[in-house]
Amino acid sequence: MTPDAALATAIDLHAGRPGGLLPLLHEVQDRLGYVPPSAVPAIAKAMHLSIAEVHGVISFYHHYRSSAPGRHVVRVCVAEACQAMGVKDLLAHARATLGVDLHGTTADGALTLEPVYCLGNCACSPALLVDQELVGRVDAARFDAIVAGCRSDA
Amino acid sequence: MSAAPSAPVQRIFVARDSAAVSVGADRVAAAIAAEAARCGSAVELVRTGSRGMLWLEPLVEVETPDGRVAYGPVRPEDVPGLFAAGFLHGGRHALGHGLTERIAYFARQERLTFARVGLIDPLALDDYQRHGGTAGLRRALELEPAAAVQLLLDSGLRGRGGAAFPTGIKWRTVLGAPAPVKYVVCNADEGDSGTFSDRMIMEGDPFVLIEGMTIAGVVTGARQGYIYLRSEYPYAEAVLVRALDIARTAGLLGPDVLGSGKAFDLEVRRGAGAYICGEETSLLESLEGKRGMVRFRPPLPAIQGLFGRPTVLNNVISLASVPGIFAQGAQAYRDFGMGRSRGTLPFQLAGNIRHGGLVEKAFGLTLRELLYDFGGGSASGRPIRAVQVGGPLGAYVPESRFDTPLDYEAFAAVGAMIGHGGIVAFDDRADLGQMARYAMEFCAIESCGKCTPCRIGSTRGVEVIDRIRAGRDTEANVRLLRDLCDTMSAGSLCALGGMAPFPVLSVLDHFPEDLGLAPVLAANK
């Protein structure tokens, strides 16, 4: 779907709903992977808001991205329960093998690494959310297998 | 599936809870289906919520005349061996645990709110009703609103999100607030690390939440509800959206709830990864489509909440406890618990713990019982040195306090809080100085920015802790840190800045050696 079509659909579905801005932004990001800055003026107009207000909402929430991620997004839980089970070591492994830090995208565009504060899988830590798939009890070997999976569909 | 006509269909249960799926439940279910087809066994696979014994996931249960027999944790490659051992009839196997409901971890619980979770197909409404579902709503529809509110007050139910405010008082306030439009909002922004009870009930028994919200609506006169669900819970969202469709089709929601002539409907709204939106006024701003900035109180949300209207705003577990209270009566709920903490709380054992999972128990048991009798000690086999209770704003509790009874007031008396019931264990390799720094850093990242003590104080807190850890002018910096914590506690607008000092102070008081300071004498711990 083109950015213009995604935006038109999102406005059509959500602009008229009470408190519709977050659902609208989700619709855009679900379809495109991010909310393009070029879409903000049209969103503001449809919602009867200023561009600054829309930008303020996008920048307030960690979930929304303003640039395109890699083909896959790997969210690593960095909250306390996962720290108690060694997520820092897992992150060090991720940095070393991928060559990127949190918020970075690998050079081949396969994946973007993001932090997340709790996935609610705290009895099966460390946990990741790979796109929409939750993965628990992750060790270095399991992480490498996930990365290989992300790279295999280039 | 083909089978000899005489062979009865065996029912096999595998959780569809996302924690179970995260460790392979879908692959195990597929392996069972494939092996059953290969052997010509007639099986019916039922995907349930999780029993909450998460260290045994993927858990497979088989129906036998004596009850369900449990096997776990099962890997796909274990499946042929299970068939060979006759597990379809409860046969012995190295992964077997006998009858699920006799496993000590499960048998010692008091499951009220979680009574159906793990037992039924979460999206089978007839299953839900066969197991007591909708009895609470039917009872609520018979009562006058004032009597219904009184019933809730009498039960002693307090907000399970963490603040422990009496739920009935919120409802009474909304009931008494004259307005043409009112709302029911469910706070499903379960952001505390170590907590997953909201997620488990939404995935494992979504109709109980829908029923609880509907009761709130018909009692207080609200006709529209919202579930504000965090974006980190895509499985729960999918289950809830399907459950809402089923409930509408069945007349449980809509213009004429169960033929009562009363209208109530619900929708799910997805958050966007802001911890602060678990704070109720920030949540309301977010639902209105704005930045999640905390509001001044008063006015209370019960008077001027969503879109300025009177709003019932409760946590998932509070609302999910309501149908049972209406069905069984206030006294039945009140009979559980201690002091002013009535009923049960689903505790969640997480982090470095051998038997992590969900334990629903009446208030009053101790941390030690939870950590050792249920949890079995640490996952690493090393001593448990500290546990963080109540999420990222909760204190790190040292072993000397493990005998404190889990009761809202008893915990407050030792500078800690139960919060949403999350318990994260750390072994003796944990660097609690690092965790104290993390608490301030987390507050800095998640602060909405409205009040100065939280917005600036958290950043200064990270810097002061760094100086202490570097050994620079430690005495003066410790004094400064305590002073800063005092300012944040007393001067912040909401619990984020107000409670972020809790973990920091607990490390200063109980684990100063991790900040490079002199250790506390054992006698003073």
Distances (CA, A) of B403 to A13, A16, B187, B364, B507: 54, 54, 31, 10, 19
Select the residue from B17, B21, B22 to test the A interface by mutation, using most A Cβ atoms within 10 A: B22
CB neighbours of B328 closer than 8 A, spacing ≥ 6?
none
Phi–psi pair at B99, nearest 5 degrees: -65, 130
pLDDT, position B350: 98
Select the residue from B189, B232, B445 to test the A interface by mutation, using most A Cβ atoms within 10 A: B232
Count other Cβ atoms within 10 Å, centred on residue B428: 12
Domains delineated in chain B: 10-107 (3.40.30.10), 125-334 (3.40.50.11540), 337-427 (3.10.20.600), 432-524 (1.20.1440.230)
Contacts with B195 from chain A: Cβ below 8 Å: 118, 120, 122
pLDDT, position B178: 94
Question: Is A117 within 8 Å of B446 when comparing Cβ atoms?
Answer: yes
- Kindly give the pairing relationship between strand A128-130 and strand A72-77: antiparallel
Written as one letter, the residue type at B88 is: L
Contacts with B15 from chain A: Cβ below 8 Å: none
Cβ atoms of A82 and B392 within 8 Å: the answer is no
Distances (CA, A) of A89 to A86, A92, A111, A114, B104: 6, 5, 20, 16, 34
Of B234, B272, B351, the CB nearest to A22: B272
Percentage of chain B modeled with pLDDT above 90: 96
Q: Using DSSP, state whether B482 is helix, strand or coil.
A: helix
Phi–psi pair at A37, nearest 5 degrees: -55, -30
Q: What is the DSSP letter of B400?
A: G
Q: Chain A residues within 8 A (CB-CB) of chain B? A: 18-23, 25-26, 47, 53, 56-57, 60-64, 75, 79-85, 116-125, 127, 129, 132, 134-137
Question: Is B350 within 8 Å of A122 when comparing Cβ atoms?
Answer: yes
Number of helices and strands in chain B (H, E): 21, 16
Indicate whether B524 pLDDT > 70: no
Tally C-beta pairs within 8 A across A and B.
150
Q: Distance (Å) from the C-alpha of residue A91 to the closest C-alpha of chain B?
A: 16
Q: Using DSSP, state whether B374 is helix, strand or coil.
A: helix
Select the residue from A14, A21, A22 to test the B interface by mutation, using most B Cβ atoms within 10 A: A22
Sheet harboring B67-71: ordered strands across?
B43-48, B10-15, B60-64, B67-71, B96-99
Three-class HEC string of B109-152:
CCCCCCCCCCCCCCCCHHHHHHCCCCHHHHHHHHCCHHHHHHHH
What's chain A's length in residues? 154
Q: Whole-prediction pTM value?
A: 0.97
Contacts with B353 from chain A: Cβ below 8 Å: 123
CB neighbours of B35 closer than 8 A, spacing ≥ 6?
B79, B80, B83
Of B232, B291, B356, the CB nearest to A60: B291
Listed in order, strand segments (DSSP E) in chain A are 72-77, 111-116, 128-130, 133-135
* Residues of each domain in chain A carrying CATH 3.40.30.10: 72-152
Of A22, A61, A137, the CB nearest to B269: A22
pLDDT (mean) for B112-125: 98
Question: Is A81 within 8 Å of B193 when comparing Cβ atoms?
Answer: yes
Using pLDDT thresholds of 50, 70 and 90, give the confidence band for residue B439. very high
Distance CA B379, CA A85 (A): 9
pLDDT, position B241: 98
For every residue of B47-103, DSSP letters joined together read EE---SBGGGPSPEEEEETTEEEEE-SPPGGGHHHHHHTTGGGT---TTEEEEGGGS
CA angle B127, B362, B200 (to 5 degrees): 40
- Residue from B295, B318, B297 nearest B188 by CA: B318
pLDDT digits (tens, 9 = 90+) for B183-224: 999 999 999 999 999 999 999 999 999 999 999 999 999 999
Distances (CA, A) of A149 to A130, B28, B302: 10, 20, 49
Greatest Cα pair distance in chain B? 83
Cβ atoms of B156 and B337 within 8 Å: the answer is yes
Look-up of token digits 């739920």: B167
Question: Is B232 within 8 Å of A80 when comparing Cβ atoms?
Answer: no
Each of the 154 residues of chain A gets a pLDDT tens digit; together they read 899 999 999 999 999 999 999 999 999 999 999 999 999 999 999 999 999 999 999 999 999 999 999 999 999 999 999 999 999 999 999 999 999 999 999 999 999 999 999 999 999 999 999 999 999 999 999 999 999 999 998 7
Distance CA A116, CA B205 (A): 26
Cβ atoms of B378 and B384 within 8 Å: the answer is yes
- Residue from B263, B288, B265, B266 nearest B277 by CA: B288
CA angle B305, B306, B307 (to 5 degrees): 110
* Alpha-carbon dihedral sign for residues B489, B495, B497, B501: positive
pLDDT, position B522: 58
Question: Is B272 within 8 Å of A137 when comparing Cβ atoms?
Answer: no
Using pLDDT thresholds of 50, 70 and 90, give the confidence band for residue B146. very high
Phi–psi pair at B86, nearest 5 degrees: 75, 35
Distance CA B442, CA B502 (A): 13
Question: Is A80 within 8 Å of B271 when comparing Cβ atoms?
Answer: no
* Residues of each domain in chain A carrying CATH 1.10.10: 3-60
End-to-end CA, chain A: 19
Of A84, A124, A135, the CB nearest to B352: A84
Q: Distance (Å) from the C-alpha of residue B354 to the closest C-alpha of chain A?
A: 9
Mean pLDDT of chain B: 96
pLDDT, position B8: 79
- Residue B498 tokens read as 């107000």
Beta bridge partners of A105: A112
Helix or strand run (H / E) with residue B507: helix B501-510
- Residue from A42, A48, A150, A49 nearest A94 by CA: A150
Distances (CA, A) of B158 to B108, B137, B154: 23, 20, 11
Cβ atoms of A54 and A43 within 8 Å: the answer is yes
Using pLDDT thresholds of 50, 70 and 90, give the confidence band for residue B7. low
- Residue A70 tokens read as 């890699």
The CATH code of the domain at A3-60 is 1.10.10
pLDDT, position B453: 98
Of B196, B231, B273, the CB nearest to A122: B196
Q: Distance (Å) from the C-alpha of residue B23 to the closest C-alpha of chain A?
A: 5
Using pLDDT thresholds of 50, 70 and 90, give the confidence band for residue B520. confident
pLDDT digits (tens, 9 = 90+) for B367-383: 999 999 999 999 999 99
pLDDT digits (tens, 9 = 90+) for B240-288: 999 999 999 999 999 999 999 999 999 999 999 999 999 999 999 999 9
- Residue from B448, B388, B384, B459 nearest B417 by CA: B388
Count other Cβ atoms within 10 Å, centred on residue A92: 12
For every residue of B152-189, DSSP letters joined together read HHHHT-B-TTTT--BHHHHHHHHHHS--S--EEEEEE-
Q: Distance (Å) from the C-alpha of residue B3 to the closest C-alpha of chain A?
A: 35
Count other Cβ atoms within 10 Å, centred on residue A100: 16
- CA–chain centroid gap for A68, Å, is 10
pLDDT digits (tens, 9 = 90+) for A51-75: 999 999 999 999 999 999 999 999 9
Contacts with B278 from chain A: Cβ below 8 Å: none
pLDDT, position B93: 97
- Residue B444 tokens read as 């800095």
Contacts with A124 from chain B: Cβ below 8 Å: 19, 22-23, 54, 57, 356
CA angle A73, A74, A75 (to 5 degrees): 110
Q: What is the dihedral of CA B447, B450, B453, B455, to 10 degrees?
A: 40
pLDDT, position A153: 84
Contacts with B446 from chain A: Cβ below 8 Å: 117
Question: Is A22 within 8 Å of B286 when comparing Cβ atoms?
Answer: yes
Indicate whether B5 pLDDT > 90: no
Question: Is B424 within 8 Å of A135 when comparing Cβ atoms?
Answer: no
Q: Distance (Å) from the C-alpha of residue A100 to the closest C-alpha of chain B?
A: 21
Of A22, A83, A135, the CB nearest to B22: A135
Angle between helices A40-47 and A21-32 (to 10 degrees): 150
What is the architecture of the domain spanning A72-152? 3-Layer(aba) Sandwich (3.40)
Select the residue from B231, B275, B385 to test the A interface by mutation, using most A Cβ atoms within 10 A: B231
Question: Is A123 within 8 Å of B353 when comparing Cβ atoms?
Answer: yes
pLDDT, position A1: 81
Cβ atoms of B136 and B127 within 8 Å: the answer is no
ipTM topping 0.95: yes
Of B193, B435, B442, the CB nearest to A122: B193
Written as one letter, the residue type at A153 is: D
